[in-house]
A and B are shown apart, each in its own frame.
Chain A
Amino acid sequence: MTTTKAPMKPKHQRLVLLALALAAMAGALALGISALGSSATYFYAPSDVFAKAPAPGEAIRLGGLVQKGSVQRLPDGLTLAFRVTDNARDVPVRYTGIVPDLFREGQGVITEGHFDAQGTFIATSVLAKHDENYMPPEVEGSLHKVQGKVTS
């Protein structure tokens, strides 16, 4: 079996192609927007948590400073408990794993995870912010990647 169909007239074909291209872009856009609705992560500061509490289990990012004197290592030696504060309110956080290089009391952190039913934030990753000096965004960008990741 061979396909020996005569090619369409170029002008018509161009229109068909155009329609296809626009449909593909529209499809991609629709796909993107529908995925955004379900997978975009919202960012909360501790005060925001008290103003409008996220549902337990909802994936969010929580950012703030690691409260001074709050970092405790639990007996398993691997889990850290600490509080994240924005100098107004603070939230208890629990994280199992190796914290990033820049994690320290008093330093800014961004944690990803969810709240459990008791109101403790279970972090699956902790990102520390740099502190020494202001840096170009490419460095900022890479620092955001310096993160720990939890054992599944």
Chain B
Amino acid sequence: MTDAPETPARSWLTRLAIYGPLLLFAVFVVFVGSQLGRETRVTLTSKLIGQPMPAVNLPGLGDAPGLTSADFKTGKPVLVNVFASWCVPCRVEAPQLAQLTAMGVTVNGIAVRDAPDDVAAFLKTNGNPFARVGLDKTGQTQIALGSSGVPETFVVDGAGIIRYQHIGEIRPEHIELLMAKLAEAGR
């Protein structure tokens, strides 16, 4: 069944049928490509940007001081990292948090629905990048922050206004972005 190559009449209809699928696919690829990297709209996050931090008054680990609203009125932008010892992505972002601390950034932690012993063990194995750690045993502070999962990281400026919300673990490629947001918040 070999076909003798033959050139059938090429009407515009034939051409459309032949090149149409390719064209449609090209449009699809361009569309998807343009969407890469653009974050899909998350209704709840955007509402918090520009809002003041909710009132925070959390106990600390053992004798260490906890986390209070005063820690966000220092005049210097800080990061707030919402984490938990039971969350694996939080383990993954530990080196990045350490790196941020090393770059001179103040990072405050909020441990969500966690036992003090577990948090202490977590910080011992993964390193403790936090200036202050607050224990949010009931998860109420997390909810007030509008965070719906762990880990999440917020940029809060010196006046206690939330400037940026990072959802999910901090990967190495996010450090630059967070530094930029911190610099912006410091202005």
Contacts and interface: CB of A to CB of B under 8 A. Distances in A.
User: Do A and B touch, yes or no (CB under 8 Å, in the complex)?
Assistant: yes
Interface of A: 11, 14-15, 18-19, 21-22, 43, 45, 47, 63-65, 68, 86-88, 106-108, 129-134
B47 A131 contact: no
Given A106-B143, A132-B149, A87 B13 contact: no
Contacts of B8: 11, 14
Nearest to B43: A45
Given A22-B16, A106-B140, A133-B150, A87 B47 contact: yes
Interface residues of B, number: 23
A10 B35 CA distance: 44
A63 B43 contact: yes
Given A47-B47, A88-B47, A11 B9 contact: yes
Given A107-B148, A133-B89, 8 more contacts: A14-B8, A15-B14, A21-B17, A68-B143, A87-B44, A108-B44, A133-B87, A134-B149
B13 A15 contact: yes
In the A-B complex, the 3 residue pairs with the smallest Cβ-Cβ separation, listed nearest first, are: A106-B143, A86-B47, A45-B43
B119 interface: no
5 contacts: A47-B47, A87-B44, A87-B47, A87-B48, A88-B47
A110 B44 CA distance: 11
Interface in B140-167: 140, 143, 146, 148-150, 167
B13 to A, nearest CB: 5
A107 B144 CA distance: 10
Interface in B1-47: 8-9, 11, 13-14, 16-17, 43-44, 47
Given A11-B8, A106-B140, A87 B89 contact: no
A134 B43 contact: no
Contacts of B139: 106
Contacts of B150: 133
Contacts of A134: 89, 149, 167-168
B32 to A, nearest CB: 15
B47 A18 contact: no
Contacts of A68: 143
Given A15-B13, A18-B17, A86 B148 contact: no
Given A87-B47, A129-B148, A132-B149, A18 B14 contact: yes
A131 B142 CA distance: 11
B51 interface: yes
A140 to B, nearest CB: 11
Nearest to B8: A11
Nearest to B13: A18
Interface in B120-155: 139-140, 143, 146, 148-150
Given A18-B14, A19-B13, A65 B89 contact: no
